[in-house]
Amino acid sequence: MASHIVGYPRMGPKRELKFALESFWDGKSSAEDLEKVATDLRASIWKQMADAGIKYIPSNTFSYYDQVLDTTAMLGAVPERYSWTGGEIGFSTYFSMARGNATVPAMEMTKWFDTNYHFIVPELGPNTKFSYSSHKAVNEYKEAKALGVDTVPVLIGPVSYLLLSKPAKGVEKSFSLLSLLSSILPVYKEAIAELKAAGATWIQFDEPTLVLDLDSHQLAAFSAAYTELESALSGLNVLVETYFADIPAESYKTLTSLNSVTAYGFDLIRGAKTLDLVKSAGFPSGKYLFAGVVDGRNIWADDLAASLSTLQSLEAIVGKDKLVVSTSCSLMHTAVDLINETKLDSEIKSWLAFAAQKVVEVNALAKALAGQKDEAYFAANAAAQASRKSSPRVTNEEVQKAAAALKGSDHRRATNVSARLDAQQKKLNLPVLPTTTIGSFPQTVELRRVRREYKAKKWITHSKFCCRISEEEYVSAIKEEISKVVKIQEELDIDVLVHGEPERNDMVEYFGEQLSGFAFTANGWVQSYGSRCVKPPIIYGDVSRPNPMTVFWSKTAQSMTSRPMKGMLTGPVTILNWSFVRNDQPRFETCYQIALAIKKEVEDLEAGGIQVIQIDEAALREGLPLRKAEHAFYLDWAVHSFRITNCGVQDTTQIHTHMCYSNFNDIIHSIINMDADVITIENSRSDEKLLSVFREGVVYGAGIGPGVYDIHSPRIPSTEEIADRINKMLAVLDTNILWVNPDCGLKTRKYTEVKPALTNMVSAAKLIRTQLASAK
């Protein structure tokens, strides 16, 4: 019985790629240095899977930024503004597309389906010229082969690539991206020919858009594409991989009728109904089924007995020699290796499996199906499953009762937003087009050192770290950093300030550390985009807030200024979506528990004199189910959870929220239904796509701050550029509701970038204020 891994984490167990990328971007190391780190990581990954007994090992899933950008490079689909003149695409052009440079902005970045991973959105049009411009796929295949590992090269499928693209600037929004199919397929044919010549016998096309609600025209594109590729694919075994949801019946029918395809990969974790489809609709004779029974998006140990039962039922349909045990999706969405977790509670650790352990689980299931079941391994797994179900630390009856009592109320504030804004303005006395930032400020090396050593002191009671920094020294250092950030904002003349979040490494991790029901890893890093890694907390049990979490720091910051200081919180939906969530109860129940915990914090902030409280819901759109039929239920409980957090505050307390890097236009009415007083929202990197919804007649009565510049690029926008963006916003939004702010938080940037960018932002706001005043 064979085994397969869809993809694997690429940052490395100690985030080696992250540090190599940042060193290269800072000019501290060479391209050769970066390539050496990448080569060593790939070799380690391939060897690990080969040693574990995996038969179908992927290659070309490693990326310096993201796999969609890699495909853009392969196709030579470089926007004109990057002045690429042809040939093999190098780091300069590649990273300019991803991050921008001193003269041109980056391409749009958005979420990869409903994950916290991001991809760079291709910009295409009728005049886009395609050419085979990156041989990365074949180079990595040869690299693995030289190490004695025969891999399955992975490409983003041609139809999904086009469906995930957008019309380039200046191209009609109605332009059919699928009309470019005949233009990109010749490049795919060249890549396929090179892979065949190099000795590849299998090729994997990731076509995740097959799980979406596709119309007949879009489904026809899959048939057309793989029919056109049929002769090029002759002699190869072809796997089309899908993931993240059930595959609809019509898509299943289309996929399984493709003559050029040998095997189909299905996510049987988030796509459990696909199992019923395979059983009821039948499975093509002689084809392979790659069964994704091991969860690639969570960190819970697989229930091996249940998975084995599922596989045995499929074996009866597909045939023993045509069933392949696989992960539900790429393992890049989970942490790398549990062996690195030396401080994690032993009981909780026994319930978990990271990427390295999931590889072992996949192979153990394959061996069990082949009659070589490791009885001891399965018995240990069953004991861990039983331990988790019966552990008293998972359940808190008081929390469950409080969450159950939420039913029957929509938890809206008593006064409408217009009246609240009037009351808030009387108290805050803000100018027209008030300026603010989203929350975080740059995190310096020294600040990270202070925080790291203080944490080490808490974790290791008898180590060399203990004497390095005391509680008093830590508090003093953080206060000093807050004071610096406050002073900078006052000098820049920003209207509503933030404290810069110097006490926080991550907006979710910080809160999870102070909530019950959460566990934390030391090295459970997951890539979010580029070199940006996050360390999602693990929600293993019922959630509550034992003590205030941010009140001390917010009050401290407010005492340093007469200007309004935001209290900064992460919302319940974002904490949920950016954590590894327990899978033993519905997600909405866990979200309601988190909402009640945040509600207590909001009320304590208000009581402490904080007049502006921001409750970030950056990931609300991210969690939207991929199928439209499931949208309403999710949005109902997600929006309700946000309202629970602030339903009890006074009219004069201004509630902000923040969202970023997703397509918000399709949920704008749910955003309005959140009933926040002010929303700041990413806008500039997506080429002001958000503004189109207001041009189409949507009326927004609360305060709103569409971002005026992209913080994920080192590029510094001019005053004139920002002023132009503000004027575009004023064309569709009322002056009295518009705020001026960056797209997102500033912690990934340097002060040498932040200060001039914010200076220009404030100057632009003042310029427009002057123009508005003179026009009266």
pLDDT in tens, 449-501: 888 888 776 543 333 334 468 889 999 999 999 999 999 999 999 999 999 99
Is residue 72 one of the residues assigned to a domain? no
Q: Say which of 4, 333, 640, 712 is annotated catalytic.
A: 712
Instruction: Identify the residue whose tokens are 């596989």.
Output: 311
Residues 671 and 679: beta-carbon distance below 8 Å: yes
- 73-109 CB burial, b ≥16 within 10 A, e <16: bbbbbbbebbebeeeebeeebbbbbbbbbeebbbbbb
Quick one: 652 exposed, middle or buried, by C-beta within 10 A (0-12, 13-18, 19+)? Answer: middle
Distance, CA of 547 to CA of 554 (rounded, Å): 15
Neighbours of 245 (CB within 10 A): 22
Is residue 87 one of the residues assigned to a domain? no
For 331, the token pair is 């393992």
Closest CA to 685 of 660, 705, 721: 660
Task: Indicate if the alpha-carbon torsion angle 396, 397, 399, 404 is positive or negative.
Answer: positive
Distance, CA of 265 to CA of 293 (rounded, Å): 11
According to the annotation, is 440 in a ligand binding site? yes
Residues 182 and 248: beta-carbon distance below 8 Å: no
According to the annotation, is 682 in a ligand binding site? yes
Domain interval for residue 476: 408-503+545-775
Can you give the CATH number for the domain in which 550 is found?
Answer: 3.20.20.210
Is residue 170 one of the residues assigned to a domain? no
For 185, the token pair is 């397929």
> How confident is the model at residue 661, as a pLDDT?
59
For 162, the token pair is 């086009």
Residues 661 and 680: beta-carbon distance below 8 Å: no
According to the annotation, is 469 in a ligand binding site? no
For 186, the token pair is 């010749």
For 717, the token pair is 């926008």
Is residue 383 one of the residues assigned to a domain? no
Is residue 729 one of the residues assigned to a domain? yes
Closest CA to 334 of 563, 545, 536, 43: 536
Instruction: Report in angstroms the alpha-carbon separations of 727 from 614, 691, 709, 723.
Output: 25, 12, 14, 6
Residues 6+ apart with CB under 8 A from 375: none
Q: Which residues of the chain have pLDDT under 70?
A: 457-468, 661-662, 685-689
> How confident is the model at residue 457, as a pLDDT?
63
Instruction: Report in angstroms the alpha-carbon separations of 520 from 304, 338, 524, 539, 579.
Output: 25, 12, 8, 9, 10
- Report the DSSP pairing between strands 612-616 and 532-534: unpaired
Distance, CA of 431 to CA of 582 (rounded, Å): 45
Q: Does the annotation mark 217 as catalytic?
A: no
Is residue 321 one of the residues assigned to a domain? no
Task: Give the single-character DSSP code of 595.
Answer: H
Closest CA to 120 of 184, 179, 177, 164: 164
Instruction: Identify the residue whose tokens are 């080969």.
Output: 50
DSSP 42-60: HHHHHHHHHHTT-SBEEES
According to the annotation, is 578 in a ligand binding site? yes
According to the annotation, is 116 in a ligand binding site? yes
According to the annotation, is 343 in a ligand binding site? no
Beta bridge partners of 680: 658, 705
Distance, CA of 760 to CA of 709 (rounded, Å): 10
Amino acid at 210: L
Is residue 76 one of the residues assigned to a domain? no
For 664, the token pair is 């918000």
Quick one: 408 exposed, middle or buried, by C-beta within 10 A (0-12, 13-18, 19+)? Answer: exposed
Closest CA to 204 of 159, 249, 242, 176: 242
Closest CA to 438 of 501, 509, 529: 501
For 737, the token pair is 């509701």
> How confident is the model at residue 291, as a pLDDT?
98
Residues 29 and 19: beta-carbon distance below 8 Å: no
Strands (E), 538-578: 538-544, 566-570
For 253, the token pair is 């029918």
Amino acid at 354: F
Is residue 439 one of the residues assigned to a domain? yes
pLDDT in tens, 92-125: 999 999 999 989 999 999 899 999 999 999 999 9
Distance, CA of 569 to CA of 518 (rounded, Å): 17
Amino acid at 134: S
> How confident is the model at residue 460, as a pLDDT?
38
According to the annotation, is 438 in a ligand binding site? yes
DSSP reduced 3-state for 382: helix
As a whole number of Å, the end-to-end CA separation of the chain is 77
Amino acid at 740: V
According to the annotation, is 501 in a ligand binding site? yes
List, in sequence order, the alpha helices (H) in 10-169.
16-25, 31-51, 67-75, 91-99, 136-146, 158-163
Domains in the chain: how many in total?
1
> How confident is the model at residue 511, as a pLDDT?
92
According to the annotation, is 532 in a ligand binding site? yes
